[in-house]
Structures are given as structure tokens and as C-alpha cells.
Chain A
């Protein structure tokens, strides 16, 4: 019953914030990251504290230092965890209802770290195109995300409407489109223990994080295995995540 509510919401607006049904694996992976940071910088504190205040540990923080730091974490993390499995397990009922049992997942998932006042923001965009219009984007925050620490999204109708206006040259520049999008957007609040799922066609982006805490999140894209891949090369962009019994049977013949 509860899941139906989130699926209806997803269908109506193109996104939904869903409570995680299995938090243990998310907690474990979050602790792994905070322990890595804790050892590297010889600091102590809860996972939540370390992640929120991580930017204070990096001496003279710069975007290139942060990039190197995140690559190290992703390399270490991927030795022990599969992010697509973590997110799927945490919201399996919702995702299977949306996608069915034949699922492809993104081959190279992301960990995003946005520290306060960094100008490396995600500009206004929609994933599709070039990604598949049959894709769902999962975004799982590792800390509570609110105001400028979070990001903004435009629901299905607003995304369609703005893109239509842009196509018809009703904006003089991208800057104007972005300003209007930010004005109309929903600035999301997503607490740890929840995951945001949104359709790849929605406009979204982030602004400069003006809070004094860092944002940490996982993101992975999923689609039905047999749905069109858009302009992405399916072999380099996706893994086969799961196959139904009927696909296993058909596989014997192809």
C-alpha cells in the first residue's frame, strides 16, 4: 500500500522521495567511507559528523584536491561494495515495481561530495537525452540534505513546459532559462534514510552549497534491460543487474 503511494507520486510528477526499506547495508557502506576518512585524517566522531565536516579536514581545499580524494574513496569503496546492489537492496520493492525483474544498472556509479562554497555545481540539465528516457536515476544522500546543500528539480509538467519554451526561443539565453528553472523548481529536502528516484527526462541541478556542511551522495541509474539505451553505448554504460526467469530461458537460444 505504502509503495503504491510512492509509485503513484513518481508517475504523476516524475520523482519521489522513498524511505529506505533496508538501511543496514547503507549504514555499513557509509561507515566504510567515514572510517576511511577517519584513518586518513586521524579524526574521530560519528559517521554523520565526519561526512558533514569532512571539508574542514582537507588542508587548503581545492577542487582538484577534492577530485583526487573522491577518486581514492571510489577506488577503495569499489573493492568491497557494489553501489547498484546497495541502492537496489535498500529500495527493492519500489524499483522492481517500476522496472520489472529484467534490469540494467549503470556500470560506473558515482559518489558525489559537494563541500561548502565550491563552485563545482551541477548545472541545470536533464540526463535524457543523451541517456535513455527509460532510465530512473537513484540519488541516495549519506547525510541530511536541505536548502543549498541539496539540489533542485522540476517535475514532469514544469520540465516539459520549460523545455518547450526553450525550444521555441522564448528565452534569450541559457542563463535566463536557468534563472526561471531555479525559480520554479522544488528545492528538495532529503534526509538520510531516504532515497530520491527521478525520471531521466526531468530538469535538475544544484546551486552553491552555502551551508557549513558537506553533501555526500551516491547515484546510480537503472533501466529495464530491454528498454532503449538512448545515445549511450549499452555495453560501456550498463551492466546486466538482474534477469527474469523468462530471459534466462530465452538466453539459451540466442
Chain B
């Protein structure tokens, strides 16, 4: 069984209790033991101070995030930290996306799939045809 630190999305656009439900459900389905829960300092999420410190101190073997959105700001997917973590052999899980990242190829594939995330395009088409 893998043990992971759960890191919630701290803007809390999705309420905390729903994030916890999703995280716990993912952990049960994937045989993950949650060591502790935490979140980045509110308002400074994109600095990932907590995550960086934990990586540097090798405090955990795995991290369970609520969503990959925690690494996306202004439509840019920031991969540097993810690459650093996987280079150290850490396992990264994302409950909302049912996603596991363990190596560079996983990060590339995630980036490719994110390219198709264009709900604005859907709305435009929807308005024309329906």
C-alpha cells in the first residue's frame, strides 16, 4: 500500500468537504493510505511552498492532489515541479482526474490531453447549431 500526503486545492472553488470526498474515494479505489492532509497557503497556491519543502526534505513517497488544476495558472500547465518530483521517484496522484503521474511521459501525455480542454469552443458551436 502506498502512503501519500493529500494536498487540497486551496482556493476552495470546490468546497473542502467535496474535495475530501473525492480524495478519500480515490485513495480507497487505489489502495492509498493518506498520511496527512494539507494545503498551500491561501492566496499563494501557485508558489507551492509546502510541496517544494516536502520534496526537498523527501518527507513523503507520494502526494495525492485534489486536481491537476493546482498546477495550471492562466491556462498554462506548469510542469517543472512535477518533473522534479518524478525525477526523485515520487508518485503523484490526482483524485478529480483519476490520474497518476510517475514519469516524464505521463507528464507529456497529460499536457497533450489538456490541449483539448476548450469548453469555450463547445459553447461557440453549441450556440450556432443548437
Interface residues of A (CB under 8 A from B): 104, 107, 129-130, 132-133, 160, 163-164, 167, 201, 223, 225-231, 233-236, 238, 240, 243, 247, 251, 254
Contact = CB atoms under 8 A, between A and B. Distances in A.
Interface stretch (B3-11, B29-37, B46-54, B118-126): B118-126
A240 B125 CA distance: 24
B113 A107 contact: no
Q: Secondary structure of the B side of the interface? A: helix
B127 to A, nearest CB: 11
Interface residues of B, number: 24
Contacts of A240: 109, 112-113
A227 B129 contact: no
Contacts of B99: 235-236
A247 B105 CA distance: 13
A167 B128 CA distance: 12
B130 interface: yes
Contact of A254 (B96, B112, B116, B129): B112
A167 B113 CA distance: 32
Contacts of A228: 116-119, 121-122
A37 B122 CA distance: 42
A235 B118 contact: no
A235 B97 contact: yes
A228 B94 CA distance: 22
A133 B125 contact: yes
B113 A234 contact: yes
Contacts of A225: 112-113, 116
B108 A251 contact: yes
